[in-house]
Homo-oligomer: A and B are copies of this chain.
Amino acid sequence: MNLRIPGPTTVPAEVAQAGAAEMINHRGPEFAAMIARTTEGVKKVYQTSNDVETLTASGSGAMESAVVNFTAPGMHSLVVSIGNFGERFQDLVGIYGGVLVKQEYKGGQAADLNKIEEALKADPEIRTVFITHNETSTGVTNPILPDLAALVHAHDALLVVDAISSLSSVEVKTDEWDLDVVLSGSQKGWMVAPGLAFVSVNERAWARADETASKQPRFYFDLRRHQKSLETGQTPWTPAVSLFFQLDKALQMMEAEGLENIFARHHKIGSMVRDGIRGMGLELVADEGVESDTVTAFWLPEGVNGSEVTKIARDKYNTVFAGGQGNLRGKIMRFGHLGAMNEADIQAGLDALKNAFADAGYKK
């Protein structure tokens, strides 16, 4: 089955196989060497010299870790939401007692720096800004991160970036852009099975974590505990060792391909998907200029049932596409194009999509 969803992505055979290696002691020297190596590798992809913690959890666990380490009850947080995963940050801030300042954009729009500045000026108590870099639910990449970081820091606030479905596929310059906290997840461009999540933390963010330590309960996702354990080559809780084996291998493959080539490949296949879908007479959800290079969302034309298309694509063309999430359910479809994927894979995916649409009665 060909996965053309925005994660989990195809795990290359070498990576899958690496995960089947003989189990090791997570408190022994082999694991210590491995986590040192994978952490260095992940930091290269993050383009950072900040600390990076690897959690045994999915991306949502990394999102929770950002909220419980960097906010406290009563603290104001601005959540800039351009879709479903922005809404997840809204939920989290509310659940963990924060004062939520919402800023929402319609499906397909990117965030507007000026409006964020207005929000920061309107509420000087905002201490943290949360933003989704690449919104998986709409296929939009927010292009404003470097300017946003400068703006947020000018207001003495902390910037948390959910880059779960972008980092490792499209460029995120953590240090050059001065991003305080950046999240990612193994099942996206990293080409690893789901179950590991990454969180980078700079000095500004560590200071915040120490400030909130006595105010916000946390344990499993306590990043200081992870950082202290990592210094001894361990994790505080038993890690998903077999996924570390996979990550170790996947990072070697990424190193061999080279970051610039990976980003160029994703841009190329992203363009192919957009051209192909537009060529079918379909309209993208994303506004022009902010389309994602990892996932493309497109509107279902009148008379075409998305569930029927995905079922036909699956059963007849061996290809899995995603439907819409939240209030876009039933209105859109999504084509994931990240991770271990080349132009031939994309062409096959587009062919499957075209055929499934035709079978479902669609005429351009």
Give residues in A with beta carbon < 8 Å to B: 1, 3, 5, 7-11, 13, 16-17, 19-28, 30, 56-61, 64, 91-92, 95-97, 185, 187, 193-195, 217-221, 236-243, 246, 314, 320, 322
Return chain B residues, CB-CB under 8 Å to A95.
217-219
Complex alpha-carbon distance, A19 and B7, angstroms: 17
Q: A60-B236, A61-B237 are in contact. List 7 more A-B contacts (CB 8 A).
A: A3-B24, A8-B26, A16-B23, A23-B193, A57-B57, A96-B219, A220-B221
Partner of A26, one of B16, B194, B237, B243: B194
Chain A contact residues, majority secondary structure: loop
* 8 nearest A-B pairs in the assembled complex, by CB-CB distance: A195-B240, A193-B242, A60-B237, A16-B20, A58-B238, A58-B237, A194-B238, A64-B220
In the assembled complex, how far is the CB of residue A253 from the closest CB belonging to chain B, in whole angstroms?
A: 16
Q: Are A20 and B23 in contact (CB under 8 A)?
A: no
Name the one of B9, B16, B64, B322 contacting A219, with C-beta atoms under 8 angstroms.
B64
Kindly list chain B residues whose C-beta atoms are within 8 Å of the C-beta of A239: 58, 194-195
Cα distance A9–B22 in the bound complex, in angstroms: 10
Knowing A239-B194, A241-B194, say if A217 contacts B8 (CB, 8 Å). no
30 A-B pairs with CB atoms under 8 Å apart are A1-B22, A1-B25, A3-B23, A5-B25, A7-B238, A8-B25, A11-B23, A16-B19, A16-B22, A17-B20, A19-B19, A25-B320, A27-B322, A28-B320, A56-B195, A57-B61, A57-B220, A58-B237, A58-B238, A60-B236, A64-B220, A95-B217, A96-B219, A187-B238, A193-B242, A194-B239, A195-B239, A195-B241, A240-B240, A242-B246
